[in-house]
């Protein structure tokens, strides 16, 4: 378990129209996806992150609680907030959640007029890009 008091993985844009709690939410998700935050890493306390970012602690608490509710993080009272251990088996509930995410994205792209072939090609490129970012270039 690593204590992630270094917070270089999270930057907020005060000029953005995206609320700060959503920026924190997306920043944590991106850091996990890009392996900047790893399984069992402990995140900064609400107060420490709020102080570092210069924002109200309630904003951080709101982001953390949403991430815990969604299963992205786990909270252990008296110990902290952590990236949960990876599960080799998604399990039925997590598979349903993944399918729902993919379906919403697909429906949104189709509603914007993108053809299936373009969506599929874009998805394949994005997956390959993430794979390279996370695993390094293929040899």
The string of pLDDT tens digits covering residues 15-40 is 899 999 999 999 999 888 888 898 88
Q: What is the pLDDT of residues 92-128, one digit of tens each?
A: 767 787 888 899 999 999 999 999 999 999 999 999 9
- Distance in angstroms (rounded) separating the CA atoms of residues 33 and 96: 19
Q: What is the pLDDT of residues 45-79, one digit of tens each?
A: 999 999 999 999 999 999 999 999 988 999 999 99
Confidence of residue 10 (pLDDT cuts 50, 70, 90): confident
The two structure tokens encoding residue 65: 């609680």
Question: Does residue 2 carry a pLDDT above 70?
Answer: no
**Do residues 55 and 20 touch, judged by C-beta distance below 8 A?**
yes
- Distance in angstroms (rounded) separating the CA atoms of residues 57 and 124: 39
Mean pLDDT of the chain: 86
Domain 20-82 has CATH 3.40.50.170: no
Tell me the domain boundaries of the chain: 20-82, 91-135
- Distance in angstroms (rounded) separating the CA atoms of residues 2 and 41: 5
Can you give the pLDDT at residue 4?
A: 47
Which of 132, 63, 71 has the alpha carbon at shortest distance from 101? 71
- Distance in angstroms (rounded) separating the CA atoms of residues 27 and 138: 26
Can you give the pLDDT at residue 100?
A: 87
Whole-Å CA distances, 76 to 42, 45, 82, 83: 10, 12, 8, 11
Alpha helices in 1-139 (DSSP H): 20-33, 46-53, 57-69, 91-111, 116-135
Confidence of residue 87 (pLDDT cuts 50, 70, 90): low
């Amino acid at each position: 378990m690593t204590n992630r008091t270094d917070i270089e993985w999270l930057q907020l844009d005060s000029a953005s129209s995206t609320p700060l709690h959503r920026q924190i939410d997306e920043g944590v998700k991106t850091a996990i996806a890009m392996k900047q935050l790893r399984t069992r890493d402990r995140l900064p306390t609400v107060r420490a992150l709020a102080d570092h970012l210069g924002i109200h602690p309630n904003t951080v608490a709101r982001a953390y609680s949403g991430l815990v509710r969604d299963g992205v993080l786990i909270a252990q009272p008296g110990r902290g907030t952590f990236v949960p251990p990876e599960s080799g088996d998604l399990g039925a509930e997590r598979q349903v959640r993944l399918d729902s995410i993919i379906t919403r994205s697909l429906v949104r792209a189709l509603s914007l007029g993108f053809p299936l072939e373009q969506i599929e090609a874009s998805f394949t490129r994005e997956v390959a890009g993430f794979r390279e970012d996370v695993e390094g270039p293929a040899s």
